[in-house]
Structure formats: C-alpha cells, structure tokens
Amino acid sequence: MLNKISQFFEQFIQFDAAKPEDESHRLNLAVAALLIEMSLIDNEISHDEQAALRQILVEHYELTNSELDTVMQLANQELNQATDYYQFTSLINQHFSLDNKIKMISQLWKVAISDGKIDHHEEHYVRKIADLLFVPHSEFIKTKLQVTSDS
C-alpha cells in the first residue's frame, strides 16, 4: 500500500521545499498514510473505523476530499503490500515535536479501537510506528490506556 501512496505523492503532490505550506501538506499526507494503514492492518475495516479515520484526517490534517478519497482508495487496493514506513516516519521525525508524535500515536489508537477491539496486529503496528518515531514506551502505553478508557 505504501508504494502506491508514495507514487500518489510523487504524481499529485508537487513539493517545493521553498514553500513551507507544501512541506506541511506533504507531512499531513505522510501521517494520513500511516493512519490509513492502521485501519487496514487487521485485514478488515469496519464502518466505525472508516468513520473515525475520515474524521481524524479531515479535522487534523487538512486533506481535500479528493486527496482523502484517492489515498483511501489506494490503501484499499494495496491492503496486503505494506512493508516500508521509513519514508513517512522520517518526514514526521524531521518536523514533529515529541508532543505531536504522541498525539499521532493516540490517533492511531483511536482508529484501532474504533471497531470496539484492538487486534494484536494493530497493537504491533502502533508499537512499530511509535518505535520509528522515537516515542518512549511509557507514552505508547499511556496513550493506549487513555484511548481505551475513553471508549
């Protein structure tokens, strides 16, 4: 899936390093790719998961409806091919503070729990992303407990 989303970035997102708004938008799309992957990690996406995902992406990451639809469609088409998260996590590491990374981990948990359960594949995925983002394990656990107690 991430290969197709990467192609989407290259084809549809004209990134100009001189324009901070382009970099910010590209960063939002990188976060969106990881959140979408979260929703698909257990090989099923419920209506509640899809609704939670769309709400987070629209409210926090300023994707247009067209971009959101395209990225979601690519994610669904490439469900079984995700292996490389580095290009997304490296961009996030360059630009997100620790607080923003923790917020994103919380959002991953929200997508995972939105169908009423956290699958072991989902937990593994969140742990992997947290590790790649250098989020302390204590924050990984803390955000999980906060999200599950709110559900």
Domains parsed from the chain with CATH numbers: 2-150 (1.10.3680.10)
Residues 61-73 have a mean pLDDT of 76
Cα 113 from Cα 64, distance rounded (Å): 25
Q: Of all helices (H) and strands (E), which one includes residue 62?
A: none
Cα 78 from Cα 60, distance rounded (Å): 24
Q: Alpha carbon 87 to chain centroid distance?
A: 13
What is the model's pTM?
Answer: 0.71
Confidence of residue 125 (pLDDT cuts 50, 70, 90): very high
pLDDT at 130: 96
Assigned token pair, 32: 């969106």
Which residue, chain included where needed, has tokens 């072991």? 120
pLDDT at 148 over 90: yes
Please say whether the dihedral angle defined by the alpha carbons of residues 24, 14, 87 and 18, taken in this order, is positive or negative.
Answer: negative
Confidence of residue 82 (pLDDT cuts 50, 70, 90): very low
| Amino acid of residue 140 | F
Which residue, chain included where needed, has tokens 């999200």? 147
Cα 104 from Cα 118, distance rounded (Å): 17
What would the pLDDT profile of 87-115 be if each residue is shown by its tens digit?
Answer: 778 888 988 999 999 999 999 999 999 98
First to last CA, the chain: 29
Max avg pLDDT among 8-12, 31-35, 85-89, 130-134: 130-134
Cα 77 from Cα 87, distance rounded (Å): 20
